[in-house]
Amino acid sequence: MTSLTSTTPRSQRVPGELIRVGDVHVRVNVTGEGPPLLLVHGLGAGLDLWAPLVSELKGYTVITLDNPGAGASTVPWPPWFMNKYAETLDAVLDELGFDRVDVLGLSFGGMVSQEFAFRYPQRVRRLILAGTTAGIGVTFGNPLALSVLATPLRYYSRSYMAMIAPFLYGGDAHAGSELVAEQSNLRHQMRPSIPGYFAQLTTASTFSSFWYLPTLRMPTLVLAGDEDPITNPLTCWVISKRIPDCEYQEIKGGGHLFLMEKPKLSADLIREFLEREAREDVDTEQKTARRRISRSA
C-alpha cells in the first residue's frame, strides 16, 4: 500500500497542477477569493466536472482535486480504505496552506468527506453532503443504476454515456441533453484509469460511516435530488437523521448530478447555508459581548 507517511517531503511540487503529498501525487486547482470551500467529487470523476458549479460560486476560494484513482492523481493500488483518502485531503490542505475549510462532497466524494470530518473535525468548519450514502447496508438506490457503476465505460464512450445517463443519473440527464453532452466531454478530457476506477469502487464497497455519524459536531447540510436513482432521498435522509446538527433538503427534479444540472440553485443553497451559519456565529458573539458589557456596567 502506498504510504503517506514516508520520508518524501510533503511540500515537494511537481510540474503543472500536481502536488506531491507523501508518496502520492494529487492534481489540484484553487480559484477565486473568499472563504475556502473544498469540493470533493464522485466515483472516477476529475476536478473538471465541477465547472458548472464553480462558475456560480463567486466569493469563495474554491479548492478542487482529483481524488487518487481519478484524473491525473496517483492510482492507489492495492485499493485503500477510506481513511487514506481522508489522510490525503489533510495532507493536501497542509500543502496548500489552509487550516480550516468548508467541505462539500458529492457521491463518493461525500463518503470521503464524512470520513474526513470524522478523523479531522478541527479542519471542517461546515459540512455539505450531496447525493451520498453512509455506506454498507444503508444505500437504497435503484439496483439497475447501481449495477451500471460497476464499469467506467461511461467515461470512455459518449454513446454509452448517452444511453445510460437517464436511468443512471435521473433528473435532466436524458439522451441529447446539454448536461449529458457537457459532462461526457469533460469526462473524456480527464478519464480515470481502469485500475484507478476499480480502486475507488473497492473502497466505496467497504465503507461505512453509519456508526460514527452521531459523533460529528460541525453544522451539516444534506442535499438530495428527488429523482436521483443512485442515492435516492431515503439514502440521504438516513445520513441527516444520524448527524446531530444537520439540515436536510431535497432538490425538486434533481438527479444524481443536480449540483451540475442546477448550478445556480445549488450555489444559492450552499451560500445560504454557509453564510447564514456565519451570521449566526456573529450574532452569538455580539450577544455574548453585550452580556459582558451589561454585567461590567
Residues assigned a catalytic role: 107
Separation in Å, CA 41 to CA 20, 28, 111? 19, 12, 10
Name, in order, each residue with C-beta under 8 angstroms of 109's C-beta and a sequence gap of 6 or more: 39, 40, 41, 42, 45, 67, 132
* Residue pair 76/2 in contact by the 8 Å Cβ criterion: yes
In three-state secondary structure terms, 118 is helix
Task: Quote the DSSP letter at residue 249.
Answer: E
Peptide bond into 9 cis (omega under 30): no
Q: Cα-Cα-Cα-Cα dihedral of 221, 224, 192, 164, to 10°?
A: 180
Name the helix (H) or strand (E) containing 24: strand 24-31
